[in-house]
Structures are given as C-alpha cells and as structure tokens.
Amino acid sequence: MKNGYVDLHLHTNASDSTFTVKELLDMAKSVGLAAIGITDHDSVDSIDEGIEIGKKLGIEVVPGVELSAEENEMEVHILGYFIDWKDNEFLNKLRILRESRLDRAKKIIKKLNDLNIGIKIEDVLKLTDSNTSVGRLHIARALKDGSYISDIREAFQKYIGHNGPAYVKKYFISPIEAVSMIKKIGGIPVLAHPGVLNNDELIFKLIPFGLAGIEVYHSEHSTSNVEHYSELARKNNLLITGGSDCHGLGKGKVLIGTILIPYHFLDSLKKYKS
C-alpha cells in the first residue's frame, strides 16, 4: 500500500476549470499529492494527457468522469472511477450530453440578452474548447469578465441559478442511467457530494442498481456531513471517496490541497475494481 494523500475529484479546462491539465498536475505536485482523479463534467478529453504528465511528475492519475443527472428537479452528479474512457458507445453518449450543454448555454445567453446583458456565445466559448463541456460556470465567468457581476456566486444568485430569470433546464439522464453507464464501461459509480443534495433516500435507491460508493470528503461538506456519510457508508458496505472538486479559479479560489484523503481510500477503490 502506498502512502501519501489523494484528491479524487478534480476538473480541467476540458470541462469548467480554469486549469489546463498541465497546470492541474503541477498544482497537485506542489501540494504533495500522490494521486489524483480527473473527473471532468461529461468529458474524458484530459485523461490521456493527464496520465502522461502524471508519469513524468510521479503522480498517479485515476481516469474518471462526472456525469450530470437529475432526480425530481434535483441535479445529481455521479462520479465514475477507473472507467474505460475509450469506449465508443460511451464517447457518443458524452458527445450528446456536451451538445446539449452548448444548446443550453445559447438559450441562457438569449435570456440574459433579453435582460439587457450583452454577452455573446463567443464570450463563453473563448473560456473553453467549444468541443468540450460548456457549463453555467463558463457563463458566470463571462458575466464577471464583462463586469456585469462582482463575483461568480452573484451570477448564480442573481441570474442563472435555479430560480434565476435566465435559468434554463438542461438535458439530463437519470441517476440510475448514469450509474449504469459507468458500470457498463467497467467503472466504479460514486455519488458526488451527498451533503449538498441532502437526500439519503437517493443513495438507497441507487444501491440496487450498482452504486458502489459515496463521496464522504468534499470541500462543501461540514464535519457533521463527514461523520454522517462515513457511518452510512460503513453500514451499507459502500466505498468512501473524497476530493476538493477544484475548478481552478472557476469558483473564485483554488481548492486543490484543501481536501487531502489518505491513499488507502484509493487502495480500496483498486481492490473493488480487481
């Protein structure tokens, strides 16, 4: 068993982080991580490069993904670890999800324009690769760049959050479908940040369909969240994972290094995989 710490929930600019793959790995090295999970939203575009850079830096890279799903008007994120990120059927499904993200972004911008906010889709796309995941965080950053808001949180509170005047519902798969997609490509399905959802019933609903773990350690989890979900995982024989959910500066501050979990949690994932 290796020693050291891991962060199993990290994003690159293949989804909605401000960090390139190289910048993410360099940051992981600087905070002393032994391993990381690259878990971009509906994208696996950074995995190959991440693994190669990781080898040079002595950092293990776990191939992962974070799928967006919905359950009763509630957005649910399912993490997948040790996935076959080159499976053609899976890649096609991700392409559909990303195309729906782009379509949604255009509709949100139209609503913002109707509110006399003059950003364009080009302002958003320049913050990412147009062939990858375009999300609300990109739009929030474009709003900040255009001086329409003072910080990222304001964008969600004032305009593009669930109750905001420019919110647009996006195409979702169900959590059960997300879990099944990950299992089909040999991955390990894990429910992301359950403390944010505050819906334990969903965990018990997903277990029969193959949910293997829950993200106990997360930058938005309180101490009581960690205690509660650690106990829930133990009682239900679920894997425990954790990560900072760092988006570079996309959420206003760099989170990598704030959540450090011992390597033995990654060992447990590997044992489950084998």
Beta strands in the chain (DSSP E): 5-10, 33-38, 60-71, 74-81, 188-191, 213-218, 239-243, 261-262
Q: What is the pLDDT of residue 136?
A: 87
C-alpha span between 225 and 220 (Å, rounded): 9
Q: What is the pLDDT of residue 16?
A: 83
For residue 77, what are the β-bridge partners? 68
* Domain count along the chain: 2
* Structural domain boundaries enclosing 62: 5-85+172-273
3-state helix, strand, coil in the chain (%, to 5): 45, 20, 35
Tokens of 197: 């959802």
Cα three-residue angle 99-52-5, rounded to 5 degrees: 95
Q: Are residues 106 and 236 in the same domain?
A: no
Below-50 pLDDT ranges, the chain: none
Classify residue 207: in a domain, yes or no: yes
Classify residue 127: in a domain, yes or no: yes
Q: Are residues 177 and 114 in the same domain?
A: no
Q: Are residues 120 and 250 in the same domain?
A: no
Overall size of the chain counted in residues: 274
CA atoms within 13 A on the CB side of 236: 22
Classify residue 115: in a domain, yes or no: yes
CA distances from 194 to 18, 60, 229, 254 (A): 25, 26, 8, 21
C-alpha span between 25 and 36 (Å, rounded): 8
Global pTM?
A: 0.85
C-alpha span between 267 and 214 (Å, rounded): 15
Q: Are residues 178 and 265 in the same domain?
A: yes
Q: What is the pLDDT of residue 142?
A: 92
Q: Are residues 127 and 64 in the same domain?
A: no
Q: Which of 160, 187, 215 is the last residue of a domain?
A: 160
Tokens of 219: 């930058």
Q: Are residues 113 and 136 in the same domain?
A: yes
